[in-house]
Amino acid sequence: MDAVYLAFVFVLTIFLGFELIAKVPSTLHTPLMSGSNAISGITLVGAIASLKLGSGFFATLLGVLAVIFATINVVGGYAVTNRMLEMFKKKDDGGAV
């Protein structure tokens, strides 16, 4: 893929990201932070794709470590966000879900 094309996607997504979050009640600040943190664990996809056969010991070691850390970020991030939001549901949700 062309670098210019990738940059194109990047710039448009930045604008989308800015627009996406406008008004957030302060009770949702931490869950939103945690939820978007889990998305940043997308590095996992990159780490998996880079772990190719026959890439040598050190590169494989770095790749495995990257997979481990990114997986902790993804799995832990979503699980923790879910736990936080579960609290909300008990407190003030009148069956909206």
Partner 1 sequence: MNLFINFSYLVAAVLFIFGLKMLSSPATARRGNLVSACGMLLAVVVTLLASGLAYVWIVLGLVIGSGIGLVAARRVEMTQMPEMVALFNGFGGIASLLLAWGEFHQGHEYTAFLLTVTFLSAFIGGVTFSGSMVAFGKLSERMPSRPLTFAGQHLVNGAILLLAVVSGILFAMTGGYGWFLLTVVLALVFGVTSVIPIGGADMPVVISLLNSYSGLAACAAGFVIHNNILIVAGALVGASGVILTNIMCKAMNRSLANVLFSGFGATSKKS
Cα–Cα distance, 59 to 48 (Å, whole number): 12
Cα–Cα distance, 85 to 79 (Å, whole number): 10
Least separation in angstroms between residue 35's CB and partner 1 is: 5
Least separation in angstroms between residue 15's CB and partner 1 is: 7
Least separation in angstroms between residue 25's CB and partner 1 is: 6
Listed residue (10, 32, 11) closest to 23, CA to CA: 32
Least separation in angstroms between residue 32's CB and partner 1 is: 5
Q: Which amino acid is at 58?
A: F
Listed residue (14, 69, 13, 80) closest to 43, CA to CA: 69
Cα–Cα distance, 44 to 39 (Å, whole number): 10
